[in-house]
Structure 1
Amino acid sequence: MSTTTITATATTIPVPLTSETGKDDAPTQTQLAVATGGYIFPGIPKITDPYKKRQWQLEHMAGAFRVFARKGFTEGTSGHISVRDPIDPATFWINPMGKHFGMLKASDMVHINEQGQVIGGNRVAVNSAGFVIHSAIHRARPDINAACHMHTINGKAWSAFGRPIDTINQDSCNFYGTQAVYNDFGGVVIDEEEGQRIVDALGEKGKVIFLQNHGLLTTGSTVDEAAYLLTCLERTCEVQLKVEAAAAGGLQKRIISEEAAEFTARTNADPETLYTEFQPDFEYEIWLSHGELCKGE
């Protein structure tokens, strides 16, 4: 039986400096790395009007909630997403308490200040634990514009171990160097000190954090990035639990090398790529919504 070895050769493809919509500048290295064919895959739109950017963020925020609903991330009134306001960055938007994720629209979101008072948008109650956690994050990390916290099945299961996930597959490399663990579960987060301890555990560079005996929290420069990291981390926890079960039965678990994990994270886990990764799910929700959602650009 004969075998054939195929050697791939690199081909330089001319890439236009602007997209057909005219919205993009010169392509980033990430855009060039993840797509081919002579056209740039559109990344994060450049919206200079802060009022239009606010609406764009709220549309994507509503879309993220619907994605979470479709994936089964609902758990009573638990779970929240926050997005920093582009007009008044000391304030943020969060979901109303007690409304199903699958029903949320941009107009349902609540504008809240650092004191926990509703100042605009949908004037209804919000989850107090959500306010404590998200307000602490937005105060401490100006680089974070969005944060997602959900009580997902596999996230809750893996959080019981109080440890980060291993780099055992390509997707898990998205979290290389950005994982944190909060090991001090003190009950429902309703006081500022607990929120500050979570922020301290997240640190200056953390993007995702495992809240021990609680669940997952992810962050990003866009709500799309934070939402994709949440869906990816939940699935990664599911895979890790299965791998641990198989390893307990005698199979050997193999960890990706530091060098390969770092390279993969550098290629796949930048804000532009993570934003792009979320778009298929978001656009599917737009299609399902029959006009209730839009891209907001």
Structure 2
Amino acid sequence: MSTTTTTSTHQTVIGEWRDNPASDATDVPFQALARGDKNGVLKLRGIPTFRDPYAKRQWIREHMAAAFRFFGKQGYGEGVSGHISVRDPILPEHFWMNPFAMHFSLIKASDLVLVDAHGWVTDGGNQAMINEAGFMIHSEVHRARPDAIAVAHAHSIYGKTWSGFGKPIEMLTQDACNLYGKVGVYEEHGGIALAEEEGRAIAKALGKHNTAAILQNHGSITIGKTVDEAAFLFYSLEQACQSQLLAEAAAANGVDKKVISNEVAQFTADSVQTPNNFYLEFQPEFDLIVAESGGNVLQ
């Protein structure tokens, strides 16, 4: 299983949780990322599967809390801004969000709030208020993209700085190819999102196939099949924005940029752009957060 901590957490629900070896023919690119034994017994572990939706709900809350702690470590918080939401596996029209005005670095699984399709706090989670603007953005993205199990948005420094140009990122590094062909741009700014129209405009910028969008004069947003994927893609986009800003500064002083060709970028994207890979990319951070918190984040 993914980590010692996670294993001990879910062994209490016997037979209800298992790692997904992600070894079927549809995920060949994922398995090609690592080398095991000659007999093919050792395989990369993908997104776990569950027979019990309540076990899955708890697993989601634990990984969601760890994602917030990771955002806190990266300095993505700014006052009450920033939110992650995840669709609930038991009540598909409900989703989990962070409580209003709680620092990312303090969030535990039990702090997360369950809200209905209209944004009202419901039973089943922490009885705390949520960010109104966060609901307006996330609810519209979840509505427009049923495949978006998780949505992450924050006002991180490099993402919001690069957003001031209203332009997509270039493929300047191999890591930027995590997002090749998957980044939209919302080229307007309607102010703080306190109305559904702004949320719909942001959802439109994501389109039907993008996994990320740059919101002009605002920040960044990413989606994923898991909260792990959404969190890792947000981090990857933030890193790409930082690289872009540094490269633009160098280019302004006469240093030529070398952008990865579309052919090579597509080849790289085909190798890494899978939900199992982006889930796995976040697991080192998940393990570290759990270890550093002494398991507190899972409570």
Normalised TM-score (structure 2): 0.89
The superposition leaves residues 213-251 of structure 1 with CA deviations (integer Å, 9 ceiling, x where unpaired) of 000101001000000001111111111100010011111
Q: Is the 8 A contact 1:31 1:40 kept in 2?
A: no
| Residues 52-201 of structure 1 aligned to structure 2 (within 5 Å) | 52-120=55-123, 121-201=125-205
Q: Is the 8 A contact 2:172 2:260 kept in 1?
A: yes
Alignment match of 2:52 (pick from 49, 53, 71): 49
Flag the structure with larger Rg.
1
Regions of 4+ moved over 4 Å = none
Q: Secondary structure at the match of 1:180?
A: strand
Query: Which residue is equivalent to 1:269?
Result: 273
Displacement after TM superposition at 1:79 (Å): 0.4
Q: Secondary structure at the match of 1:186?
A: coil
Q: Is the 8 A contact 1:30 1:273 kept in 2?
A: no
Give the length in aligned residue pairs: 275
- Please give the alpha-carbon distance, in whole angstroms, between the structure 2 residues aligned to 1:190 and 1:247: 38
Q: Secondary structure at the match of 1:46?
A: strand
The superposition leaves residues 90-121 of structure 1 with CA deviations (integer Å, 9 ceiling, x where unpaired) of 11000000111111001000000111111120
- Please give the alpha-carbon distance, in whole angstroms, between the structure 1 residues aligned to 2:160 and 2:20: 40
Normalised TM-score (structure 1): 0.90
Query: Which residue is equivalent to 1:289?
Result: 293
Q: Is the 8 A contact 2:22 2:31 kept in 1?
A: no
Structure 2: unaligned runs, 5 residues or longer: 1-16
Q: Is the 8 A contact 2:137 2:199 kept in 1?
A: yes
Query: Which residue is equivalent to 1:229?
Result: 233
Identity value in percent? 49
Structure 1: unaligned runs, 5 residues or longer: 1-20
Amino acid at match of 1:80: H
The superposition leaves residues 114-148 of structure 1 with CA deviations (integer Å, 9 ceiling, x where unpaired) of 11111120111100000000000111111110000
- Please give the alpha-carbon distance, in whole angstroms, between the structure 2 residues aligned to 1:129 and 1:286: 29
From the superposition, tell whether residues 279 and 25 of structure 1 become closer, same or farther in structure 2 (CA, over 3 Å).
closer
Measured on the aligned residues, the alpha-carbon RMSD in Å equals 1.4
Query: Which residue is equivalent to 1:36?
Result: 35
The superposition leaves residues 126-175 of structure 1 with CA deviations (integer Å, 9 ceiling, x where unpaired) of 00000000000111111110000011010111000001100111011111
Query: Which residue is equivalent to 1:257?
Result: 261
Q: Secondary structure at the match of 2:208?
A: coil
